[in-house]
Amino acid sequence: MSNILDSSISEVKGIGEKLQAHLNELGLFNIQDLLFYFPFRYDSYEIKPLTELEHDEKATVEGQLIADPTVQFYGKKKSRLTMNLQVDQFVVKAVMFNRSFAKKQLSAGDTVTVTGKWDQNRLQVTVSQYKKGLAKNQEPIQPVYTLKESVTLITLRKVIKEALNEYASDVDEILPENVILNYKLPERKRALWQMHYPESRVLLKHAKRRFIYEEFLIFQVKMQLLRKLQRESTTGNAQNYDNNELTQFVQTLPFPLTGAQKRSLAEILKDMKNPYRMNRLLQGDVGSGKTIVAAIALYASITTGKQTALMVPTEILAEQHAASLKEVFGERIRIVLLTGSVKGKRRKEILEQIKGHKVDLIIGTHALIQDEVDFNDLGFVIVDEQHRFGVNQRRTLRDKGLHPDMLFMTATPIPRTLAITAFGDMDVSVIDEMPAGRKPVDTYWVKGQITERVLAFIQKEVNQGHQAYVICPLIEESDELDIQNAVDLYNQLAEVYEPNVKVGLMHGRLSNDEKEEVMQQFASNEVQILVSTTVVEVGVNVPNATVMVIHDADRFGLSQLHQLRGRVGRGADQSYCILLAEPKGDVGKERMRIMTETTDGFELSEQDLKLRGPGDFFGRKQSGMPEFKVGDMVHDYRALETARQDAAEIISNDSLYNDERYAKIKQIIEQDEHILGKVLD
């Protein structure tokens, strides 16, 4: 389909070669790009009653000058111009700096519109823009776009407006009419204008709602189509595992599986038996027992004669998994560990063993995806803490086998609805039940810094033979300061506790060997108190540790706090988590309170979803969630869920291919090379 909107932006009036190059840098190549380059915020010049203005926010005020403006000069070439405006029954003072020339343009009785920061207490505006006359003559809401240095906001506004004037009429509706009517969405062309130049906040909201739905629907249709195509293709392997052997193995376990473990396992095994390639996410809170489920699934595959792999993000984790799985399996299977620190002759040996299928399960880090690793009939792959790996890394590992079944594991307790929608191309299993007999971690919130009482509490636990983690204050954006903080805290605690009790220090700057050593010392109880930055967050298992102290707990997301807390409560003894925090706002306090009241990760994530400001729970792109242009997965999750259901219907009854009303959506999806690539391989 050749479309005028696919033409180069150079067609737009006012875009010469130089500007074109600059716009290209912003990712704007064709007219469509320009039209759909949405503002990230708006400057509002809406006139509101004074009582509705927000303190310290930008506001626009319109009034009549009571007297001529006055000007005071001070310093070198500095000036301050003051106007008194009659606004309804109030007098508002407007102050403008270093623009004394305005005095000549304005005189008593004139109507003036000023925009700037509003001070509710003094009824004063610090003016950034002013204009003689009524506000009505101005554009009420102005778009603000993301910029690079080479293009100014004024220029971008101008060319986008030009593009809208010339080409918005060529923008086609892509949603079926019944959907538009049903959800009362504005029509596409109209919504497009409103996105850039909204006539009101309400119309803007509807326009956004429309594009959010459109974006989510296309995403969901894509994901679900992908999943369907994957299922229909026979390119997978039906793993007809030996049920007897499997049952025997499960009986050797020292505990019965929980209901949730059984359910997840059944889902996984069913996928394995099927001829399509399994693509499943196994979600379960820390300590919920994902590893044993993984072990049983691995074993199933091994009984069919396949080789298997388990990839984890850190060496420490790889070693822990290797040790615990060797214990679980005993002599049943052959396990090797392959990490960056396995070197020289030993490495060569292991690589030979893998290639010659002398081993059944290879556990390792990123080392597994290096070229030199040559698997023999790799049939089943597990990726633990899956969000720590990029798409390409996961794919590289997959491609080392012939359509191996893939299982991804995560301890991030994403609310189920979100997980299903976010990972639309994966099936999701959830372990939402803890093994019996777990003692929930007692959690306390202590205001302020580490106190004598907390120090004494740690001492008391250590006296009973237990160990403690102390997590350092977190300073974002500064590695240097983070380390410095850790060192300071370490010195402080060493002063208090040593020599009778040994304190260790762990942070991101240590080499792998050093980290390893500190971890070993802690695991073997040579070190009783471990001061650490958040590097201990992932998967570390020291059951003898019963205390977790977290500095500046209010600066962490709930999910991260939960992960940290999950480092204790792993043994038979009662464990404790102490949150040191002095949150400023109500939300911060509420978060601390929630932490003290629940230890259920899913409950926490649901609560956080309700409470959080954007970007908190899934903070720092940790969870590998897809990113959207207009919509926000968390904020707009209802729309996401609606889109998911609608997409499921479109895919299940084949409307995408048979129903003319979806022709436009089909076109868009077919243009996506990514999806073609994914389906072809």
Q: Which residues here bind ligand ADP, judged by CB under 6 A? A: 255, 257-258, 261, 284, 286-292, 411, 435
Nearer to ligand ADP, 143 or 566 (CB): 566
Please give the Cα distance from 567 to 386 (Å, whole number): 19
Could you please report the per-residue DSSP string of 202-252?
A: HHHHHHHHHHHHHHHHHHHHHHHHHHHHHHHS--S------HHHHHHHHHT
Closest-CA residue to 249 (of 321, 309, 297): 297
- Provide, rounded to whole angstroms, the least separation between the CB of residue 412 and ligand ADP: 12
Partners of 113 in beta bridges: 62, 131
- Provide, rounded to whole angstroms, the least separation between the CB of residue 681 and ligand ADP: 31
- Provide, rounded to whole angstroms, the least separation between the CB of residue 179 and ligand ADP: 41
Please give the Cα distance from 676 to 669 (Å, whole number): 9
- Provide, rounded to whole angstroms, the least separation between the CB of residue 289 and ligand ADP: 3
Closest-CA residue to 173 (of 666, 672, 670, 664): 664
Closest-CA residue to 492 (of 531, 445, 535): 531
- What's the burial of 455, exposed, middle or buried (CB within 10 Å: 0-12/13-18/19+)? middle
Please give the Cα distance from 361 to 379 (Å, whole number): 11
- Provide, rounded to whole angstroms, the least separation between the CB of residue 675 and ligand ADP: 33
Determine how β-strand 78-87 pairs with β-strand 70-74. Answer: antiparallel
- Distances 190 to 39, 138, 157, 194 between C-alpha atoms, Å: 16, 21, 18, 6
- Provide, rounded to whole angstroms, the least separation between the CB of residue 321 and ligand ADP: 9
Please give the Cα distance from 281 to 513 (Å, whole number): 32
- Provide, rounded to whole angstroms, the least separation between the CB of residue 563 and ligand ADP: 10
- Provide, rounded to whole angstroms, the least separation between the CB of residue 361 and ligand ADP: 16
Nearer to ligand ADP, 63 or 569 (CB): 569
Please give the Cα distance from 405 to 403 (Å, whole number): 7
- Provide, rounded to whole angstroms, the least separation between the CB of residue 466 and ligand ADP: 17
Nearer to ligand ADP, 409 or 656 (CB): 409
Nearer to ligand ADP, 175 or 325 (CB): 325
| The pair of three-digit structure tokens given for residue 518, joined into one six-digit string | 């500190």
Helix H or strand E segment including 587: helix 586-597
- Provide, rounded to whole angstroms, the least separation between the CB of residue 540 and ligand ADP: 10
Nearer to ligand ADP, 430 or 468 (CB): 430
Please give the Cα distance from 410 to 388 (Å, whole number): 10
CB 376 within 8 A of CB 355: yes
Nearer to ligand ADP, 47 or 337 (CB): 337
Residues 6+ apart with CB under 8 A from 531: 470, 472, 486, 489, 490, 493, 503, 504, 505, 506
